[in-house]
């Protein structure tokens, strides 16, 4: 099993990426920190002079702090698009509160007698500020900057969701791929970075008052120096820009396969699938790694590039259930199988389109579909036991889970508890094996490559065949994890490369090989 390498081997093998991500991470942290200091410090000073404004300003930045970081990044995308700018803007907003609050507190806590003495001796306002207040408030202000730095290192991992890079690429890629080494390769450097910066700033904070003025004046230079790290690592460039999800980046049937089997050389940013489609529609990206049943395919008029060398294996969805539950509640399996064969690719795309683009709730979408199929029954409100349904964090899974919940409630006396939004494959799978949920819908290809990790030869033997992959996965899951695969639902949500239809037509790109040729011919 070639993936059973040590963390050290992984980090060594990916050292180039690791270095780049670390530098990007430091850069992101310090660019946003610098802006936060440039704005927060004067603002903090201002509100010590205008105490009436203090409550308002501190309240406003306090509210910003309570916005969940993922949501804040989400708000940034319509305003600032993807890439480093929205990431820096979000980190900047998080860094503001500690800096403003500590500047305000630090200066307010300067002994009023000392301040009055400074005034009484004939110091001007600026002299009182720079020679007395800022120097005496220095430890408190530095504590604020320290807090902001540590927050930024932590929140900075989320920058990977919107194509801004940083150590989050490994962390989210690792979570999506069920690759612990990859998670740790991102998480450990991020933690070390936070500890190291915190320690260095603690030394600055404890500086004797004599050296403080020097520190105060050299701070902008140091911030600028670290900020420049973000621009240092420049990869090669290409005429088109690709945005791939963290999961896609680390998969053999993803970026790795594209590079090794197709020889595709394209400048790539890592981005969350939540914002990827909008980004390609807005022409911020040219190629994305999407899913073939995604509703946004229809909404944004994207063209799927044909996988002419067959690197994307089949991804047929089917419920994976804990075998004990099936044995305990014999009525469950037949009910779950009601859906089997009812949803093909185009139906699933249509359902996804309704939820993702027409903003229907997954519940309404699921119910309408079941009613149309004549499968819907009024819930029996039974009390026989509880089935816990889990789902990954995207609409297709929400729709399927809602359908299963309605079927179970309508056809059996079982109760249902749904735990939707369990992140990626790893989280769902771990929840299932740890008896936190009883079932979730999984895809054959994902199970094969992200969970089972078979040897390369084994994958070749399966040759991307629908039935052989399903059979292999089902057998392995039963043996290794005591989990049962029920019959496939019908659709194949495979990975696919997508481009805007208009651009693909204009450049005469229909297959992934066409794309590779185009890029090779049009090198910058």
Partner 1 sequence: MNRMIEVKNITKSFGGFAAVDNISFTIEEGETIVFLGMSGCGKTTLLKMINRLIEPTSGEIWIKDKKIHEQPPSVLRRNIGYVFQNNGLFPHYTVAANIGIVPGLLHWDKKKIAGRTADLLEKLHLPPAKYLSAYPHQLSGGQQQRVGLARALAADPPILLMDEPFGALDPITRAHVKKDFSQLDELKSKTIILVTHDVQEAFELADRIFLLDKGKIVQAGRPEELLFKPANEYVRTFFEDQRFQLEVKLIDPTDYTSLIKAFTHFKHRPS
> Which positions lie near partner 1, rule CB under 8 A?
111, 113-114, 116-124, 127, 132, 135-136, 209-210, 212
Q: Which residues contact 239 (CB under 8 A, 6 or more apart)?
A: 518, 519, 522, 523, 524
- Minimum CB–partner distance for residue 57 and partner 1 (Å): 26
Nearer to partner 1, 128 or 201 (CB): 128
What is the rounded distance in angstroms from the CA atom of residue 471 to the CA atom of residue 477? 10
Quick one: tokens of 248? 């896609």
Nearer to partner 1, 123 or 240 (CB): 123
Query: Of 106 and 445, which has the nearer Cβ to partner 1?
Result: 106
Closest separation in Å from C-beta 53 to partner 1: 22
Rounded (10°) angle between helices 168-177 and 425-433:
50
The three-state secondary structure class of 121 is: coil
Shortest Å, Cβ 62 to partner 1:
31
Smaller CB distance to partner 1: residue 127 or 511? 127
Residue pair 313/469 in contact (Cβ under 8 Å)? The answer is yes
Nearer to partner 1, 113 or 234 (CB): 113
Q: How far is the CB of 124 from partner 1 (least distance, A)?
A: 5
Report yes or no: 177 and 103 within 8 Å, Cβ to Cβ: no
Q: Which is nearer to partner 1, 123 or 274 (CB)?
A: 123
What are the C-alpha distances in Å from 417 to residues 397, 401, 414, 420? 15, 10, 10, 10
Place of tokens 């004599």: 210
Cβ atoms 500, 491 nearer than 8 A: no
CA dihedral 283, 287, 292, 296 (to 10 degrees): -10
> Shortest gap between Cβ of 215 and partner 1 (angstroms)?
13
Pairing of strands 241-244, 267-270: parallel
As measured in angstroms, the least distance from the Cβ of 131 to partner 1 is 8
CB-nearer residue toward partner 1: 122 or 374: 122
Could you give the CA distance from residue 44 to residue 50 in angstroms, rounded to a whole number?
10
Tally of CB atoms within 10 A around 298: 16
Cα first-last separation, the chain: 39
Least Å from the CB of residue 5 to partner 1: 55
């Amino acid at each position: 099993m070639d993936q059973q390498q040590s963390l050290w081997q992984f980090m060594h093998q990916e050292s180039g990426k690791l270095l780049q991500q670390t530098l990007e991470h430091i850069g992101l942290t310090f660019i946003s920190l610098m802006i936060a200091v440039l704005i927060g410090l004067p603002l903090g000073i201002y509100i010590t002079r205008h105490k009436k404004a203090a409550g308002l300003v501190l309240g406003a930045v306090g509210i910003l702090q309570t916005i969940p970081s993922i949501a804040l990044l989400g708000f940034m995308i319509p305003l600032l698009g993807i890439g480093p700018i929205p990431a820096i803007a979000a980190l900047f907003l998080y860094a503001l509160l500690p800096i403003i609050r500590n500047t305000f507190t630090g200066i307010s806590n300067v002994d009023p007698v000392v301040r009055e003495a400074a005034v009484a001796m004939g110091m001007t306002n600026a002299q009182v500020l720079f020679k007395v207040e800022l120097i005496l408030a220095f430890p408190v202000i530095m504590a604020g900057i320290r807090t902001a730095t540590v927050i930024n290192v932590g929140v900075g991992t989320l920058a990977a969701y919107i194509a801004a890079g940083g150590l989050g690429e490994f962390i989210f890629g690792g979570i999506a791929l069920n690759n612990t080494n990859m998670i740790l390769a991102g998480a450990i450097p991020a933690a070390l970075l936070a500890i190291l910066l915190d320690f260095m700033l603690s030394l600055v904070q404890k500086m004797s008052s004599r050296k403080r003025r020097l520190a105060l004046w050299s701070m902008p230079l140091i911030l600028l120096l670290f900020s420049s790290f973000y621009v240092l690592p420049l990869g090669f460039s290409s005429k088109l820009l690709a945005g791939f999800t963290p999961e896609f980046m680390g998969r053999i049937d993803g970026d790795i396969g594209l590079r090794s089997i197709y020889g595709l050389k394209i400048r790539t940013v890592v981005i969350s699938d939540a914002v990827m489609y909008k980004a390609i529609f807005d022409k911020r990206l040219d190629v994305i790694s999407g899913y073939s049943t995604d509703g946004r395919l229809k909404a944004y008029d994207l063209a799927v590039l044909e996988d002419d060398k067959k690197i994307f294996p089949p991804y047929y969805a089917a419920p994976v259930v804990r075998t004990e539950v099936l044995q305990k509640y014999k009525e469950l399996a037949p009910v779950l199988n009601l859906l089997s064969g009812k949803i093909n690719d185009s139906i699933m795309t249509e359902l996804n389109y309704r939820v993702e683009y027409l903003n229907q709730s997954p519940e309404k979408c699921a119910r309408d579909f079941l009613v149309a199929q004549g499968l819907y029954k009024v819930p029996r409100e039974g009390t026989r036991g509880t089935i816990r349904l889990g789902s990954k964090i995207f609409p297709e899974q929400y729709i399927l889970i809602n359908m299963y919940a309605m079927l179970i409630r309508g056809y059996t006396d079982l109760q249902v508890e749904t735990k939707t939004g369990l992140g990626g494959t790893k989280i769902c799978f771990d929840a299932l094996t740890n008896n936190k949920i009883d079932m979730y819908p999984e895809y054959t290809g994902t199970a094969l490559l992200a969970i089972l990790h078979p040897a390369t030869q084994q994958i070749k033997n399966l040759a991307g065949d629908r039935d052989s992959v399903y059979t292999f996965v089902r057998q392995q899951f039963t043996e290794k994890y005591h989990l049962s695969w029920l019959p496939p639902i019908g659709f194949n949500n495979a990975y696919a490369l997508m481009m805007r239809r208009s651009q693909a037509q204009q450049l005469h790109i229909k297959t992934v090989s066409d794309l590779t040729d185009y890029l090779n011919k049009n090198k910058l």
